[in-house]
Amino acid sequence: MRFTDEQRRHRLVVHHRVGAPPPATPPSVEEIVDGVLALHATDPATVYLSVLARSEALKLDDVRETMYGRRSIVRILAMRRTLFVAGLDDVPIIHSGASLGVARRLRTRLLKELRTVPTDPPLPDPEAWLAEVEAEVEAALRAAGTATGAQLSTAVPGLRTAILPTTDKAWDVRRTVTSPTLALLSAEGRIVRTEPRGSWTSRHHSWAPIEAWFEGGLPELDEKTARTLLARRWLEVFGPATVDDVQWWTGWNKTDTRAALAGIDLVDVDLETGPGIALPGTEPVDPPEPGAALLPALDPTPMGWKHRSWYLGAHRERLFDRMGNIGPTVWWDGRVVGGWAVRPDGEVVHRFLEDVGADARAAVEERASQLQGRLGGATVVASFPTPLERELRA
């Protein structure tokens, strides 16, 4: 079977709700998250803006209520040591298939530092010390319900243990073990980031026991089985695609990627970017009406594939930073055609990077105006500014 780039873009529009005509029944936040598997959450604002971009009916408060009221979606540290928000049905698969591998690397790195770098106070037995601190953190959270990192470091003095600098480099400074320890516990599925202190764009999250979302803790799955389930789930959302795309998104090595895919009934497909794979039953969709969308920085759609030429065109240099993080993008008919930003006064501005015609310009103008109203004057600054976003914010 062959899929042209245009056919892939049609599937993207329909299945990812990127400029698709609004359905008769507006989707819920949970349905939007399920439709893209997981929302990037390194920037807290991305979660909200990714949802708003896919539904004109939903508001910022709807996203907040879903995460922290109904608790039907949850923020987890997972693929490529990145924060995501996923639905409760997908979290056990993601956790066992990706987060546990991340957790092993985080634990190995932290213990290596504690063994080889001076600390204050000194730690004769880092393994035993770390196990005790972890148990105290979990006990403190169960007692408090929620707590910030600062509150936990007060309740658990061991978190104030410092890793000392060993060079005169500007980046080599005294730092406590609070952040790496809490990140490790979250990757292991023992604690979870909950509502931040401050506005919906705040990065200062509080922490809660995992039992606040999963009674009795996260369900345990065999890691190999979970990787196969996660690869299949990814192909449901992002297929047809390449094996490289799967490996990049999951953060697995080649061996684990091939083993995961070997457990799935796959169909070989021809893509304009090269050989690809898909699940049986993956077919072209009817061409949707052209539509506009303003997706935020790190949105899961433009970050979903390693090979992006079929929807990104020649715009990578202006829209990505040097680390491979994409900024806010303007879409028309399933393609990236420009970028946008929110200025300090709350104005949503955009710029086209190619000639898109009068219909597209009018549709994007309308989307930008709607988004500005829905943000209510809030400013949004991406953690990873890109060249075009910097220009637009100036």
Tens digit of each residue's pLDDT (9 = 90 or more) over 41-65: 999 999 999 999 999 999 999 999 9
Q: Categorize the per-residue pLDDT at 67 as very low, low, confident or very high, splitting at 50, 70 and 90.
A: very high
Q: Categorize the per-residue pLDDT at 228 as very low, low, confident or very high, splitting at 50, 70 and 90.
A: very high
Q: Categorize the per-residue pLDDT at 382 as very low, low, confident or very high, splitting at 50, 70 and 90.
A: confident
Strand boundaries in the chain, DSSP class E: 2-3, 38-40, 73-77, 83-87, 119-120, 162-163, 175-176, 191-196, 205-209, 267-271, 274-278, 292-295, 329-332, 335-342, 348-352
Residue type at position 269? V
In a domain, 331, yes or no: yes
Q: Categorize the per-residue pLDDT at 172 as very low, low, confident or very high, splitting at 50, 70 and 90.
A: confident
In a domain, 347, yes or no: yes
Residue 43: both structure tokens together: 């920037």
Residue 52: both structure tokens together: 């708003």
Question: Does 168 have pLDDT greater than 90?
Answer: no
Query: Average pLDDT, stretch 199-228?
Result: 94
Question: Does 232 have pLDDT greater than 90?
Answer: yes
- Distance in angstroms (rounded) separating the CA atoms of residues 332 and 16: 13
Question: Does 198 have pLDDT greater than 90?
Answer: no
Query: Average pLDDT, stretch 255-272?
Result: 97
Question: Does 128 have pLDDT greater than 90?
Answer: yes
Question: Does 394 have pLDDT greater than 90?
Answer: no
Bridge partners, 341 (sequence order):
349
For 279-309, write each residue's pLDDT tens digit.
999 999 999 999 999 999 999 999 999 999 9
- Distance in angstroms (rounded) separating the CA atoms of residues 294 and 85: 20
Question: Does 216 have pLDDT greater than 90?
Answer: yes
332 is in which domain, residue-wise? Answer: 292-393
Query: Average pLDDT, stretch 204-222?
Result: 94
pLDDT at res. 130: 98
In a domain, 339, yes or no: yes
Question: Does 123 have pLDDT greater than 90?
Answer: yes
Q: Categorize the per-residue pLDDT at 253 as very low, low, confident or very high, splitting at 50, 70 and 90.
A: very high
In a domain, 329, yes or no: yes
In a domain, 50, yes or no: no
In a domain, 366, yes or no: yes
Residues of the chain with pLDDT > 90, as a percent, come to: 93
Domain count, the chain: 1
In a domain, 166, yes or no: no
| 167-171, 208-212, 272-276: least confident range | 167-171
Q: Categorize the per-residue pLDDT at 218 as very low, low, confident or very high, splitting at 50, 70 and 90.
A: very high
In a domain, 359, yes or no: yes
For residues 204 and 198, is the Cβ–Cβ distance under 8 A?
A: yes
pLDDT at res. 164: 94
Bridge partners, 331 (sequence order):
293, 336
Mean pLDDT of the chain: 96
Query: Average pLDDT, stretch 165-190?
Result: 94
